[in-house]
Amino acid sequence: MEFPGKAGGMDPEFDIKDVCPVIEVIDRISGKWSISVLVATAHGPVRFTELERQITGISRRMLTLTLRNLERDGLLTRTVYPTVPPRVEYAATGMARELYEHLAGFTSWAARHQGEIAAARTAYDAGRTAEPVPAPG
Amino acid sequence: MEFPGKAGGMDPEFDIKDVCPVIEVIDRISGKWSISVLVATAHGPVRFTELERQITGISRRMLTLTLRNLERDGLLTRTVYPTVPPRVEYAATGMARELYEHLAGFTSWAARHQGEIAAARTAYDAGRTAEPVPAPG
DNA sequence: CAGTATCCCTGCGGATACTG
DNA sequence: CAGTATCCGCAGGGATACTG
């Protein structure tokens, strides 16, 4: 997604560059389908068509692109069996499964706060439409 | 980013919906500037212009949009002091700081594996350009 | 100071026909 | 089966002039 390289450093209390690696990670999983593919391959080798079926709504093109990107980053292995018809299997690497574990932390965060977030949204949206007219007369 | 709603469920060993909340989280921080803003506001109230200076490269428009989105999700509070000239301060909520903590896990992951990732990329890219000609003569 | 409004442009992602 | 090639639409994001 091409994030900013740095962001000033006038506050000695924290260095934004400490957080920069996160951006790299987000970059890697920010694609619309990356997480789904990561999840689908985390439990063992999966074939292309199986992924296509399992990940509802993904197009052939995007599946390929997502697969290639993850492979390039070393998160996926691609194994070709030179049979006919061809057989290709994708599997998450150890690194990817580690990443996958970290996702659990976010899942719990989301679960804990989803009500709060929904409420915040409702409140925000309500404020946006109602405030313009505080005193009609 | 509008992610897919679900993705099949033929494998009883895992349910992809367990991971769906992650997508919600990613959605919230997947913007190009969200993380930078989150980081910049995590340590206390910050003013608009200060953010603009601190986050190198961000445009006025994107800063505003990012701020509004985070505020809408309840991750940021916006406090207006009706002085002249106006003074507005943004601060991360508890929920946001919790999220911020989780980022640390990813940071360590990225730090541990950045060499491995770089190597994987180099290898992948090298393979892409060299393979077409395995035996010149 | 703290935004909003406007214009433009790039690249992600969707659909699908074609191929080794 | 497992892709690649091609075309296209749209939303995210950049730049900047204007305003309460």
pLDDT at residue A88, rounded to an integer: 98
Whether B8 is covered by a domain: the verdict is no
Predicted pLDDT at B18:
54
Q: Tens digit of pLDDT for each residue in A89-113?
A: 999 999 999 999 888 888 889 999 9
**Which bases of chain D come closer than 7 Å to a protein CB?**
1-6, 12-17, 20
Shortest alpha-carbon distance between residue A84 and chain B (Å): 22
Instruction: Answer whether residue B115 is part of any domain.
Output: yes
From chain A residues 63-82, the ones with a CB under 8 A of any chain B CB are 71-74
Domain that holds residue A36: 16-128
E strands, chain A, are: 46-47, 76-81, 87-92
At A8 the pLDDT is: 35
Determine if strand D comes within 7 Å of the CB of A79. no
pLDDT(A64) > 70: yes
If one counts the domains in chain B, the total is 1
Mean pLDDT, rounded, for A69-73: 96
- Name the one residue in this structure whose structure tokens are 């469920």: B9
Residue B51, in any domain of the structure? yes
pLDDT tens track for A118-135? 999 999 999 887 755 544
- pLDDT bucket at B103, cuts 50 / 70 / 90: confident
Helix axes A94-130, A20-29, angle to 10 degrees: 90
pLDDT band at A72 (very low <50, low <70, confident <90, very high): very high
pLDDT over 60 at B121, yes or no = yes
> To which residue do tokens 């701020």 refer?
B67
CATH code of residue B21: 1.10.10.10
B9 in a domain, yes or no? no
B60 Cβ under 8 Å from any chain A Cβ: no
Cβ atoms of B134 and A48 within 8 Å: the answer is: no
Instruction: Give domain status of residue A6, yes or no.
Output: no
- Hey, are the CB atoms on A55 and B7 less than 8 Å from each other? yes
Query: pLDDT > 90: what percent of chain B?
Result: 61
Let me know if residue A91 belongs to a domain: yes
Q: Is A58 on the interface with B (CB under 8 A)?
A: yes
B40-82 per-position pLDDT tens digit? 999 999 999 999 999 999 999 999 999 999 999 999 999 999 9
